[in-house]
Chains A and B, each alone.
Chain A
Amino acid sequence: MTHTTAHPPAHAQRQSFLRKHVFSVDHKVIGRQYLDLALVAVVTGMVLSWLMRFHLGWPDTPVPLLGKLAPTGAAGGVMTPEYYLELMTMHGTIMVFFVLTTAPFAGFGNYFLPIHVGAEDMAFPRINMMSFWVTLLAFLVLVAAFFVGDGPPLSGWTAYAPLSAVGKDAGPGQGSGQTLWAISIGIFCIAQLLGSLNFIATTLDLRTKGMSLARLPYATWAWFVTAVIALVAFAVLLPACILLILDRVAGTSFFIPGGLVISDRLQPHMGGSPLLWQHLFWFFGHPEVYVAILPGFGIISQILPVFARKPLLGPRVFIACLVAIAFLSYTVWGHHMFLSGMNPFSATLFSVPTLVITIPAAIITLLWIGTVYGARLRLTSASLFALGFVSVFVSGGISGFFLAQPSTDIYLHGTYFVVAHFHFVMGVAAMFGIFAGTYFWFPKMFGRMMSETLGKWHFWLTFIGVYCIFMPMHYLGLAGNVRRYSAFTDDYLQPLIPLHRFITIAALFTGAVQLIFLFNLIRSRLRGPKAADNPWEATTLEWSTSSPPPHDNFGGRRPTVAYGPNEYGVAGPAGRDYVMQAAAQ
């Protein structure tokens, strides 16, 4: 369905400051708000990881100021074991939900999906505004856990029951902090459900004349597929969180079996199943991995052709693989539970689709590498991060082979090998997608160019830094180093402490390098050189309008699309090597 009528901008031009910049229904403002929230969240999450890494390297050395910030958790600057686990839980939760879901999907998606399809705004602008404010509320509720009586929860971002469900008896952090966690994630689910509906409706209903599905830019394809995944995944996590809250505050026993004795007290519950939580959580949790990484797939597939000056290899294959991954992502959750006490026969059943999902992922990787072949490659900060994305995605994806097989998972489950795997494949890779997207779209969003010199320094130091942090974690895992330990008291772990110190130094260094990025963002926003409408010579619709785009995106006139997004390396008009999607036929 496409809209053909041209009509005046939907929103009034004269608006109060509050309506324009704070409670705005403009998808561009909302997209920037999501990105700002993700920036606050990622700085918070990174500081938490610094503290954790420092503690792992030098457990007895006080951290300056930490003793004042957390007088109970880290008296004198040396953190307690429970405080370590609390930081770890908050790090994981903040990063997965408020950075990896919020920035590449909700943030960039909100800003560019409507422009990509040639619409003036999202299908439901008010619901869109509500999604952001609900997300912010979820973040505030989560952060509030730092300030309640016994501190934030310590049960990890997976919040396994019954540790997360039984309340105060299970130890510090399992009181009101854990309840706030469950409420926060429940609220976050509502925001994502609303946001996903908007993405799907906008993609299907608001495409401009000539914008067939085959002509959708690849980032928008990825956001669309991601929205479908998120719609089903968050719809399962939301009731799971409600059941967890009921177990905690209303005395129900969905996840708590009978006969539990905690802190020498027989618990007043019976009949629940701890494995039910794991099934519900991972039925959300594994698709969530794809919610975090598929937008990166789309962003990279859109950016690589621009800087390779040739079309993406196999665009239809790329889209077919995205859809295949989306379907398969619902059939693999049990690979998190091979050793959970689940029926061991089902391990093989979950292992096969988990291994099969590597086929579309491998094909997409080959498409990217094949796109670089024969290119006229322009290396900018954006394209370097896109190429770096391919490298780190390969590194993270390969280790999946070990964890997808029940037989090798017996040894590697619960070790740093798993930490290395998911940090590379969904953490670092998704971050590289966010960085590539930022360097690529910043000129469009703010009308100013970012510094390429700083951007390239940022790339090189980050690229080498993340390998120094996460590659050695595979070696730790092979040596049997268990994850989620606040100190390594076991005999066999002692010899691994020097490797932990190396990782800590690399993490502090790589974290500090991000200040270059932050500085570049702020300085370019204020003093960057003015950006042209199409500085990268790209084809998609956002580059046909001004930088930044006007309130209604295209200045009162909806574009007509005659070409696909992939017209690079062709004989275009005026001696150009590309044809824009909105070019006259």
Chain B
Amino acid sequence: MGRLFAVVVTVIALVSAAIFALHVWWLPPDISAHGSRIDRQLNETMVTAGILFVAAQLALGLFVWRFDVRDGMPPRAVKTFPGGVTPLVVLAILFVGIEILVLTFVGSKVWASVYQTPAPAEALQIEVEAEQFAFYFRYAGPDGKFGTMHPDLMNDATQNFFGLDPANDTTARDDIVVGTLVIPVNQPIDLRLHAKDVNHSFYVPELRIQQDFVPGMVIPLHFTATQTGKYELVCTQLCGLGHYNMRAYIEVKTPADFAQWLKAQAATS
């Protein structure tokens, strides 16, 4: 029975670890300027955590195999762990402690570069409004200014998702509101996240970015996409019955294509 336990634990540990190591299921390719550092942090964590995982499972399996009492075995005395408890405590504190220090020092820099640093001045500002169960995006238009948002004017039926008041607010008249986030490649993007009703979240796996929308707060989020293409933006904060279907597309275009798109939108709005 002890041998069976050892075999089962070993098979579970090795098969699980192999599927991680072979990237059978893995992150989609990174298309952001900061993502490679997140991926490296994740890989480093994966290697150290993987070693700890396999070592602990194998040690458990080995000891159960070795010290199980089978029928017909001669009686033997129990043995204490060599060196007692001290080496284990020292090992755990040193190994895990060093691991924590390294992960914290390296990881904090990655985190800080995304979340504790403001967007560069040349970043393109886009407003995002999340509501049950859609995302809308707003560009400032030719005047470079966003119109003020009025919650009492927000209305899905009239498609006034941002509660704009073009009749009285001149800056709102040229604002461009669309349902797809279109951005230029290799240019920093500076988003302002607004929630109209409940919590939502902005998650683009390829961009290695995620941030909650919180009602009553305007939350900044910045990133730079490095590859053109079409990607999915999904909601990751439970927001009601349509949560599973709350998504939008992100189109990353070349600067020329983006300028052309923006011009066309300005002409129609």
Contacts and interface: CB of A to CB of B under 8 A. Distances in A.
Interface of A: 80-82, 85, 154-156, 160, 162-163, 166, 170-174, 256-264, 266, 272-275, 308-310, 313-314, 317, 339-341, 344-345, 347-348, 351-352, 355-356, 358-359, 362-363, 365-367, 369-379, 384, 387, 390-391, 394-395, 398-399, 401-402, 405-408, 410-411, 413-415, 456, 460, 463-464, 467, 471, 474-476, 478-480, 482-492, 496, 499, 568-569
Contacts of B25: 475-476, 478-479, 496, 499
B151 A266 contact: yes
Contacts of B211: 339, 341
Given A262-B197, A376-B76, A257 B216 contact: yes
Interface string B124-144: 000000011000000000000
Nearest to B213: A341
Contact of A478 (B26, B38, B57, B112): B26
B217 A407 contact: no
Contact of B92 (A344, A363, A414): A363
Contacts of A499: 25
Interface centre among B8, B111, B163, B205 (most CB of A within 10 A): B111
Interface stretch (B59-67, B167-175, B177-185, B257-265): B59-67
Given A370-B88, A410-B210, 15 more contacts: A160-B238, A257-B216, A266-B152, A341-B214, A355-B100, A359-B96, A366-B91, A373-B81, A376-B75, A376-B76, A384-B5, A395-B57, A405-B103, A411-B205, A488-B244
Contacts of B56: 365, 369, 394
Given A163-B199, A489-B245, A348 B19 contact: no
Contact of B2 (A348, A377, A456, A486): A377
B148 interface: no
23 contacts: A85-B238, A266-B152, A272-B216, A341-B211, A352-B104, A359-B93, A369-B56, A369-B59, A375-B67, A379-B1, A387-B64, A402-B45, A405-B41, A410-B209, A411-B38, A414-B237, A474-B20, A479-B25, A482-B203, A490-B232, A492-B205, A568-B78, A569-B78
A258 B91 CA distance: 53
Interface of B: 1-2, 4-5, 8-9, 12, 16, 19-20, 24-28, 37-38, 41-42, 45-46, 48-49, 52-53, 56-57, 59-60, 63-64, 67-69, 75-81, 84-85, 88-89, 91-93, 96-97, 99-100, 103-104, 107-108, 110-112, 114-116, 131-132, 151-152, 154-157, 163, 196-199, 201, 203, 205, 208-217, 219, 232, 234-245, 247
B212 A341 contact: yes
A365 B237 CA distance: 34
B67 A373 contact: yes
B210 A411 contact: yes
B98 to A, nearest CB: 11
A401 B49 contact: yes
Contacts of B77: 569
B41 A407 contact: yes
Q: Which 9 A/B pairs are nearest by Cβ-Cβ distance?
A: A257-B216, A374-B79, A414-B236, A314-B85, A480-B205, A82-B241, A475-B25, A259-B151, A344-B115
Contacts of B234: 482, 490
Given A160-B237, A317-B85, A402 B42 contact: yes
Given A260-B197, A365-B56, A369-B63, A485 B244 contact: yes
A475 B59 contact: no
B165 to A, nearest CB: 14
A522 B78 CA distance: 37
Interface centre among B24, B100, B208 (most CB of A within 10 A): B100
B63 A339 contact: no
A348 B92 contact: no
